[in-house]
Amino acid sequence: MSRQMTFDLGGKVALVTGGGTGLGYHMARSLMRCGAAVVISARRQTVLDDAIDQLSAENLPGCVTASTVDLSDRSSLAALVEKVSASFGGVDIFAGNAGQDLMEHVDRITDRAFDQMMQVNLSANVELVRAFVPHMRQKRWGRILFSSSAAALCASPHEGSSIYSASKNAINTFARTIATELGHDGITVNSLSLGMFLTDIVRDAFTRLDREQGAGAGDAARDSFASMTALGRLGELPEIEGLIQLLASDAGGYITGSTLAVDGGLSIMLRPNPVTQDVGQ
């Protein structure tokens, strides 16, 4: 008789970085729906507390706890690993979702901003994988997911995202490469090429556009992103949940090394070069 593959995550422990807000919150929620014990982490304790209150109020099959971390600080990262390992023995599902986009033009970005973005978007994920893979290997089962970006695959129409895009491209390559190293141990690794979802990181970018280019620039950017998708709209946060359940469970057990586009068709569209368009060429 053929084996029935399920979405059940009962008995699994998941860590979702950036799990108190935006896409990470919905990742945590979707994993809890399947019965996982989820740890959400981020810098702001109050945001994590609010997320726990809201998630707990839904009476989902899984449970949630929180652990603060600053991913740009190696000692804070080590403390997170220690705390999660002491509480749960390790992590079966790691969603490296937290990210930063400091939106600075390439010739103005400071060394500090560069280091911070690469540390949060890339190095912290590498360090957390290194910390949690031994436990996954031992269990011969593991799931690793990264929140990457459509900006890793095609140039963003808005200036200031070169380092962000580079860090996201690096995480895609990292995911593909470790998928080959870890596959024999039953560990799958995938990255999500995310399009535009209206979350804090995106609202901040639009607010900054308003400040730098005048009121309305943020709204114009939002509309222009919507018009660049096949679906003609931005993504809604719950639209991430089904894919997370698939990739994190046995149901998605044969999906590995992929960069999956969750972008409303943004990446399949042809569009004009924003720079030549702006200068009227």
Which positions touch ligand NAP (CB under 6 A)?
A: 17-18, 20-24, 42-44, 47, 69-72, 97-100, 120, 147, 149, 194, 196-197, 199-202
Nearer to ligand NAP, 140 or 233 (CB): 233
List the structure tokens of 3: 């084996």
Q: Minimum Å distance from CB 23 to ligand NAP?
A: 4
| Alpha-carbon distance values, 190 to 95, 104, 138, 147, 263 (Å) | 10, 28, 20, 9, 16
Nearer to ligand NAP, 199 or 249 (CB): 199
Nearer to ligand NAP, 17 or 188 (CB): 17
Nearer to ligand NAP, 122 or 179 (CB): 122
List the structure tokens of 82: 């220690």
List the structure tokens of 178: 């470790």
Q: Minimum Å distance from CB 109 to ligand NAP?
A: 16
| Contact by Cβ (8 Å): 19, 43 | no
Q: Minimum Å distance from CB 240 to ligand NAP?
A: 9
Question: At 233, phi and psi to the nearest 5?
Answer: -155, 165
Nearer to ligand NAP, 140 or 211 (CB): 211
Q: Minimum Å distance from CB 110 to ligand NAP?
A: 16
Q: Minimum Å distance from CB 234 to ligand NAP?
A: 7
Q: Minimum Å distance from CB 241 to ligand NAP?
A: 13
Nearer to ligand NAP, 9 or 120 (CB): 120
3-state SS of 226-244 is: HHCCCCCCCECHHHHHHHH
CA nearest neighbour of 114 among 126, 124, 104, 99: 104
List the structure tokens of 42: 């981020």
Question: At 105, phi and psi to the nearest 5?
Answer: -60, 145
Residue 34, exposed/middle/buried by CB under 10 A (0-12, 13-18, 19+)?
A: buried
Q: Minimum Å distance from CB 47 to ligand NAP?
A: 5
Where do we find the tokens 């059940």? Answer: 8
Q: Minimum Å distance from CB 169 to ligand NAP?
A: 12
Amino acid identity of 59?
N
Nearer to ligand NAP, 10 or 265 (CB): 265
| Contact by Cβ (8 Å): 135, 152 | no
User: What DSSP state is assigned to residue 47?
Assistant: H
Nearer to ligand NAP, 137 or 220 (CB): 220
